[in-house]
Each structure stands twice: as structure tokens, then as C-alpha cells.
Structure 1
């Protein structure tokens, strides 16, 4: 009769361990598959009620879906003017790209600069190309290089995004690796144990695998939303939380083992004393994350439920897999160190005993001092300036897109090929165009025609609205361009009845 309970005590942790090994092996790969269901459209990083967000929605009425412009810039070899034959070659090279994979809409002709030393053309790409973006740009570059006596470079948002993708390639894996190594070093220093840190890390990795699998399924069914930012934060969040909760359990388990309890009794006592703290901590973090559902930014709202799922999985792994592994290992989990009754009775190392005595003697004073320090630090919050970083300051070394943008700015207005977009009432077309052109920092403003591009011909009117493309003098991501958008909005909003909205890439950066 005594053998059955004893066998059962071993059976439960063994079953839990086997289940988690099966779950981890099956669901672990989903940690690297979230990119398959990720959505990285620009509107996700905009406030829901932002003016540029409403412009994105209004553009759809013009059958103008959100695109990613790639700007081709040709400069003459030897710093001499480009002739008509080279311009014709460049136009044909661009025209050959129409309808090829990744290219959407109309392809512009090659337009000469005022100094006749450069040509410019715009190729509109799908914004969701992802990993195919680099190969698409390579194809455009090869096609553009066919112009004799000229050098072609690629600028604009598409080229910038490709360079950023290269710069951040593998960043999620790198962050995860650095986090795991950091946790491993900390655990080795804290516990001076060879095996325990790896058990805790395995527990955290299992939690991450389960969380990613759940998020993958929910995102695939459009229940939650995932983007690159959410994906990166989820990994660090789950690893950090699972490690934190594991420290609470393993510390209590070590104290119980030091009291000469059996491994089973020690774990029952450790779970009884630490489960409340772990669940309460997890619930606090999860509720805090769910508060992001009140955010005005789509990607912030997406992080709320995804992060809460990650925290729940961290708690689940800590309260099931980790106890099972620790019970099966017993004292061996802390090898070569061994829990000693003196450590448990003494309450830990001397420095922590001294800190505990100070807090115990004057808890209110310590509380007041800590609160005062936090308030002093919080007083500096209004000085935070979040205006974004211009393209030429993002990269440590000059990226090809940065050099191409500089070349573009030498011969054309900085905002060429990446205009601000104005949607307004068609009855006020003349006023809108005149006021836009009169705005300081604007190079040109042209209504969209029936041919589907700015230029000559009748203006396209959809549901009583027109679209005006406004070329800015400064680079589209610069502070000067954002200031121009602000001035233009002020000017156009004063046109009664026009209901003018200003969007486009620069306005999106400004609104973000």
C-alpha cells in the first residue's frame, strides 16, 4: 500500500515533464514563424484619429492603395549634362518594370533636373513585400543601370526600408540570444549552480514557444495583431518574466530543502508559499499590458493582448514544468552548492540581512525616501523630446539609401518622388493648390488627373473629392519637412468648406 502513493508522487512530475517536452518540441518552432502572420503597414504606427490616417483611408476611394515609392536617380558620369537619348533610355527602362512582381500602379517617366545633370523616376512598390523587397530593388537597379554614360542609385522609402531591414537582420534572434546569455550569467552568479540556470532557461524557452504558438494561431485568424515591434518585445518579455517567477520558486524550494524536508514536501511547501506571489505578479503585469488597449496607436494596442498571453504562459511554465523538473532533480539541481540549514535559518547573506534590518526598523522612512527619489526622476519627464530620427542619422555608416538621398537632394527638391498628399473638396481645388504652393517649404503642388498621375489633363474627382500631390523642398523625413506639413495644414484648414486633409509619408512621421 505504501508503494502506490510513492509511485504516484514520482508519476506526476514525470508526466508533466514529458508533456512539456512534447509541447516544447512541437510548438517551439513557432517562435521563429510569427513573421509569417506579422502586419507592418504604416497605419499601424499612427494614431487612429490622426489626419494622415484619414488620408490613407480617403486615398482608397481614388483606387490609390498605400504604396512604397522607390526613387531612381541617374547622374551623368563625369559631371556633364544628360542628353535626350539618355532620358529616353531611362524612361524605357522604367516602363519595362510595369507589371513586374512587386511593382504596382503607373511607373513615372524619367524627369530631368533643372541643372540637366540628373534624371529622376519613381517606381511604386507593394508595401508588404517583406523579404522580397531587396530582390525587387535589385531588379530595378539592374534595369536602371542599362542607361549608358550614367550611374543609377535608389533612394526613397523603399530603399531606406531595405537598408533598415539589412541593418536589423536577425535582430530578434540576437536579442533573444543576448537575453538568454545574460540570464544564464546572472543565475550562475546567484546560485553558483551548474544545472539550475539551464533548467530555468528551458522553462522560459518553453513558455515562449507556447506563447508564440497561441499568438500565431490567433493572428492567423485575425483575433490579435502582430508586427515586428510586438514580435521582438514578446520574446524579451516572456524570457524576463519566466526567469523572474522562477527565482521566486527556486529560492523558496532551496530554503525548504535546507530544512531537511523531502523533495516532495519541500516542493509542496514552496508552491504553497510562492504561487500567490507569482500569480499576483503575473496578473498585475498582464492587466498593465491590457491597459494598452486604450492606446490610440494600433501597434501599442496589439502589444496588450499579445504580451498578456506571454505573461500567462510564463506563469504556467513556472508553476508546472519547473516544479516537475526540480522535484525530479532534488538537491542535484543546486550542485555543486548544497542547500544548508544555516543559510535558511540565517536569512541569506550578510548584506541582505543588514538591508532587511534597516527596512524593518524604519519602513515608512524608507518608503518616503524611495517615493521622493521616484518623484524627482519623474519631474524630468516633460523634458523628453520624441521627434524621430532623420534618415541620415539612423545608420552608423552611410547606407546606400542615405547617399542616394543626398544625390537626389543635390539636383531635385528633397521631397521629390515622395509627396505630401492632400485630400480636399473638389469645389475648392484652385484655393487648395494656391495655398499649398504658397506655403514656405513647398516646391510644387499638382492635382491628380484622370490619367492617374499629377500633371496636365482633367483633375480626377471621386465622391466630390480631389487629391493633390505636394512636393516638399526638404527631404521627406527631415524636421524641416515636418514643419512644412504643419504650416501647410494650418493654411489649408482655413479654407472654409474644403475639409482639407494632409497626409503622406512626412505627415505620417509628424503624426507618429
Structure 2
């Protein structure tokens, strides 16, 4: 590996001999070689770990609830009442006419076939139940919730295979219920390894080719990003396998996009500095160190803001939010390390050839000496080009530019009140076709919509009748049954008349199952278990049962959804101010000022609100989305504020550097011109990678994809290009207050 590029005329330049002599040739060869070999080893090991991701990914919403949630406590107490940890799959068969004997026999045969499937808990599977109108039948099969082979998704797919292989003439059939929705969600995430990565990498590659017009440089950048991702996956899979950090498909998708986008952005910033340094130093080693000296601080600060923002998610109540923080932070750490070690090593190896067919001018001795002495670099087309023109606009009419920018952003914010982010039914999580959603609709047409997915109430045996009376008096409750081990169906109906507590009239009342003095009741809701109406019923039921005592708890799938929404809203209220405060502190330390960081934070928050306002209009008016999860604004905030500040960091660190040399206002114009191309390219790359999330048919990811992609473009082309430079120019050196730079005569 030739890293020295000897040229005879340089042997007569004493300054260069001094710089080169500080590091022996063998060390200049060894350092990049070792770095490349270490990263290639991580690339290989991490690539092999991709195959293990599906084994450690968990998509069960209940597993990500906080330990303090009432639904979590009920889930734990339920284990004492049941022999297995199973989730229900509902098989529903419906016709436009009454089901005849042959059709009912076919349903019974189907049930027998389902019972033979591995993973189906036979003694917890209900008999066939015919609807009151005689047009539908259903049975509930309990499926072992274990992961891997025989897990819910595999068993549901086998059940659906049975429906396709032996269709019931004249009837529609579907597998729905919690297991059905889990299978549909897992199926929607199935393209995350291949399709998502392929789309994201293809988009980044095209942008890099257009930006650099070079065949080699995009490959070097993508190799750096992919290596960072592989190293991240290796660590995350190891932690998940050790039960340290569970990971969901949602977290996995965000990890992929964040690492590819962030690593590429950091690479673009370093490449811009390296190319500039190659114009000042003839030896690649000297250019590498100069580029690292100029790039490491903004790259580390930018990555640090994202890492801090993500780690603040550890303060979340919702475990899915809490888990995303460290998982994504691991990815950003590797993106930083790869951009500051692997990329410089690869570019040191490639040198000027990396930019082929473009030519990077070799420096002469005077240019190199000036650069070494700390003099400002040449103007790089002072009077020409787009960024020179924008610089002139900002310098001539700064107040007009920043006020117009604020007005445009404020107008976009007008759509913000239309953002519906108070939760959506779990049946809406998957976009496009969903058999579970179709089956839920069939179920609601012929049975109580909540049948097969009841709410669960656990309370003292002595209060059984009081609990029953209050539950049946609650609007939205269809019926109540108590878990009874000696009942043929495993449960017995409970009435509120105070006369016949259990069992049909004229029959002995089955004894309820009692565990530690408590009984378990199953409450069938009138609305679909995943609906917002059902969640309202659960909230009302909990309030009523508080009259019996604090030891009466309500859980089940609907309660899980309700507790998830409430935890998400609490997280949003807590995390957003913490992230703002942390990033403001980082900016103050980085820029050694107070005014500039406050302006940067304010601009990014305004941009975030504008992105949400436009997104609300698009979601409601164009895509027709039913609403959004409360965590959508939170995740969008963390990504947009942390990543949006990145571009302001790239800009303002260079502005500060130039301001120290030529004065604040000239430094603003020069910093804008020098960073304009690289920051725009970085914004396009990050927007494209987040847009790639939209290929997965998941409502949450589609919304995050649009909000972040649009917000990043807004930051790139409006906030960082016009608003921040114009406002800073208008204020002048006061932006650096209280540092010495604010008192400079320049």
C-alpha cells in the first residue's frame, strides 16, 4: 500500500520534510492497513449475523409495555391460571346465508386439522361456536407464543394454508385475532433485510454518483456505511441473544436506516475536507491528517447530538422506546467510528484516484506552506456558482430572507392541529391487504366484535359477584365469564341477577378456578378488541372496578393497547424537553456561545413543527391514514431535531472557523459557500434513506419515513441554506456571545 506519494521537488521543501519525518513510513503503512483489516473482520462477522436477526426479533406489543403498566401485571398473574403462555387465533367462517350441515361439518373437520398442528394448545382451544344469525361459525385456537419454529406466525400461516387447501363452499374464511395480527405484522416486516436495504443503498448510490461523478468514491462510501451497519448488527444480535436488549422489527428498520444515512453523511463531510486538503498538501498522509483535524469535531458533535438524543429515550416508560435508544445509539457509534477510521484509511489508500475522472489539483509549495501556517484556503470560486449567489443574497438582504423563511415555515405549521396522533387500532398497523383485518370485519358482522379476544379481569374471589355486576353495567361490555377448570368449555358465564351466578339455569354451577384467593374473568367487548372504542370501554371498566378495590386489575390485548398509548403520550411529554435541553447544551459547548445555539435550536424546532403540519395534511388528505401512534411525533422529533441540528453544526462550525480568520459576516458567507454542496448532498442522502422506510407496509414506518424525509429536506434547503445564515448575518458577531469572538473587531 503506497501512502507516501514521493515527488522529487518536495524533497527540497523543509516544512514538508519535517511533517513527513514525524511519522515513520512503516507506521504510515501499518496504521491504515490494520484499520482496514479490523473493519473487514467486523464486516464479515456482522454480515453473518444478519441471518440471526429473525431469530431474535420480537413483534409482540405486550412485551414492550412498562413493568408498571396494569396490563403487564395482569399478563404476569395470568400465568398462574394457565398451563401455557398462548395467544389466541380466531378462525371465522361466514356466509350470506345460513350455514348448512355440510358447511358446519367442514368447519368441525377444519378444527380437528388445526388441533394437529404443532404449536396449537389443544386443551385451550374452544369448540365450534355458531352465531345467533346462523350465518357464521368460529373457534378460538390457542397458539404457543414461543419464538422461532412453531411460533405464532408459522402456525397461523399453516392454518391459513389449511383454509386455502380445503375451502368451505359458499363461505368466506379467515384467521384473525391477536395471533392473526401478529402474523400479518411479522409478514410486513419480512422484507426488512432485503428490500429495505436494497432500496436504501440504491438510492444512496445514485445520489453519490450524481454528486461525485466518480465510480470509485461511491463504492468507498457505501462500503464504509455497510461495514458500520454490519458491526452494529453483530453487537445488537449478540445483546438480543443474551436477553440484554430485545429488538423489534420496527427498531431493526430504524437501525438500518439510521446507520446507512448517518455514516454516509459523516463520510460526505470528511470527503469534502479531504478533497480540500489534497488541494493544499501533496502527500496523502498530510492531507489525511489535515482533513481529520478539520472534520473530527463537527462529525463527533453531530453524532454526539444524535447519540444523546437517542439515549434520553432510556427515560421512557414504554419499553419499545427505551430499547430503541441504546440499539440505535450503538449504530451511530459505529457510524462515527467508521467515518473517522475506516473511511480515512480507504481514502489514504486511494488518494486522488478516488475522485477519478475528476482531477484534484496537486498543491505547490507556497499553497502547502500557507495551509500549514493556518491561512485561509483559496476562495474556491468566490464570484461563481449557486452557493456564491446564495451568499450574495444573504449578505445583501439578510432581514428580508430570514423573515420570509420564518413566514413560510409558520404557514406550514398551520396544519399541525390536524395531526391525529392519539393512537390507531392495531388492525391498521399493516398497510394494504391483511387477512386478520378482513377476518375481524367478518367476526364483527355476526358475533360480538370482541369475541375471541376478551379483556381479562383478575380480582378477589370474595368480590366475584360485585366485579360481575359492575362489568356488565359498563357500556361496551357484551358478556362476562369466569375461568372454571371443571367447565367443559374452560369457562362459565356469569350473570348480574344475583340468583344464578354460574352456568345455565338448571345445571350445577362450575366452580371458578381460584389462585391465591383470586379469580380470573373474561370480559367480551361489544367493539373489536383493537378499536379505540374498545380502549374507551377498558378505561371506563377500570374506573368502575376501582370502586371494588385497587386489587382488581384489568388486562388483555385491548388493555395492552390502551396502556401503550398512555405510556407513549407520557414519554412524548417527558422526552421532548429533555432532548431539547441536552442538544442545546452540546451546541453551547461546541460553539462556545449561547446566542447561536439558541437560534439553531429554535430554527430546528420551527422546522419540525412545519414538517408535522405538512405531514398532517398529506396523511389526511392524500394517503387517507386513519391516524397515528402517539410515538410518531416523538420519534420524528428525536430524529429531526438531532439530525437537523447536524447540518447546522456542519455549517456553524465552519462559519466559526472562518469568522476567526476574516470576521463574522464574511465568515458566514464563506462558510455557507464552502459547506453548501456537501450539506445539500448529505441532506439528500439522509432524506432518501428515510424515504426507503416507506417500502415496508407498516403505518408507523410509513409516517416516520415521510415526516423525517420531508423535514430533512426542509432543514437542508430552507433552514440551513437561508434562515440560519441570514439571521446570523443580520445579528452579526453577537451570535457568538459571550465568547471572545463576539467582541472581535472583525
Are residues 195 and 365 of structure 1, via their aligned partners in 2, closer, same or farther at CA, if it must alter by over 3 Å? same
**1:197 Cα offset (Å):** 1.2
Larger displacement relative to structure 2 (168-177 or 283-292): 168-177
Q: 1:220 aligns with which of 241, 248, 255?
A: 241
Per the alignment, residue 55 of structure 1 pairs with 74
Are residues 433 and 159 of structure 1, via their aligned partners in 2, closer, same or farther at CA, if it must alter by over 3 Å? same
**1:277 Cα offset (Å):** 1.8
Per the alignment, residue 496 of structure 1 pairs with 548
Q: 1:467 aligns with which of 520, 524, 543?
A: 520
Deviations 1:423-466 (A, max 9, x none): 22222211211221222222111111124822141111212222
Cα distance in 2 for partners of 1:439, 1:412 equals 19
Per the alignment, residue 379 of structure 2 pairs with 346
TM-score, length-normalised on structure 1?
0.88
Per the alignment, residue 111 of structure 2 pairs with 94
Per the alignment, residue 661 of structure 2 pairs with none
CA contact (8 A) 1:155 1:404 kept: yes
**1:86 Cα offset (Å):** 6.3
Cα distance in 2 for partners of 1:49, 1:37 equals 24
Cα distance in 1 for partners of 2:94, 2:204 equals 52
Per the alignment, residue 72 of structure 1 pairs with 91
Unaligned runs of 5+ in 2: 1-16, 368-375, 493-502, 504-509, 565-746
Deviations 1:317-369 (A, max 9, x none): 11111111111111111111123479962246632234446667898998888
Are residues 477 and 443 of structure 1, via their aligned partners in 2, closer, same or farther at CA, if it must alter by over 3 Å? same
Per the alignment, residue 58 of structure 2 pairs with 39
**1:74 Cα offset (Å):** 3.1
How many residues end up aligned between the 2 structures? 509
Equivalences for 1:159-170 in 2 at 5 Å? Answer: 159-170=180-191
Cα distance in 2 for partners of 1:141, 1:329 equals 55
Are residues 354 and 403 of structure 1, via their aligned partners in 2, closer, same or farther at CA, if it must alter by over 3 Å? same
Cα distance in 2 for partners of 1:507, 1:293 equals 23
**1:120 Cα offset (Å):** 1.4
Per the alignment, residue 23 of structure 1 pairs with 42
Q: 2:203 aligns with which of 182, 186, 193?
A: 182
Per the alignment, residue 106 of structure 1 pairs with 124
Cα distance in 2 for partners of 1:163, 1:176 equals 21
Equivalences for 1:108-187 in 2 at 5 Å? Answer: 108-129=126-147, 132=150, 133-141=152-160, 151=171, 152-187=173-208
Are residues 126 and 387 of structure 1, via their aligned partners in 2, closer, same or farther at CA, if it must alter by over 3 Å? farther
Are residues 301 and 323 of structure 1, via their aligned partners in 2, closer, same or farther at CA, if it must alter by over 3 Å? same
Per the alignment, residue 442 of structure 2 pairs with 407
Per the alignment, residue 333 of structure 1 pairs with 354
CA contact (8 A) 1:90 1:147 kept: no
Report the secondary structure of 1:424's partner residue.
Answer: strand
Cα distance in 1 for partners of 2:161, 2:226 equals 44
**1:185 Cα offset (Å):** 2.1
Are residues 209 and 391 of structure 1, via their aligned partners in 2, closer, same or farther at CA, if it must alter by over 3 Å? closer
Report the secondary structure of 1:108's partner residue.
Answer: coil
Per the alignment, residue 454 of structure 1 pairs with 491
Report the secondary structure of 1:170's partner residue.
Answer: helix
**1:307 Cα offset (Å):** 1.4
Matched, 1:486 2:535: no
**1:242 Cα offset (Å):** 0.6
Larger displacement relative to structure 2 (186-195 or 323-332): 186-195
Report the secondary structure of 2:440's partner residue.
Answer: helix
Larger displacement relative to structure 2 (431-440 or 448-457): 448-457
Structure with greater helix share of residues: 2
Are residues 225 and 74 of structure 1, via their aligned partners in 2, closer, same or farther at CA, if it must alter by over 3 Å? closer
CA contact (8 A) 1:392 1:398 kept: no
Q: 2:459 aligns with which of 418, 424, 430?
A: 424
Cα distance in 1 for partners of 2:410, 2:74 equals 41
**1:87 Cα offset (Å):** 5.2
Cα distance in 1 for partners of 2:321, 2:520 equals 30
CA RMSD of aligned residues (A): 3.4
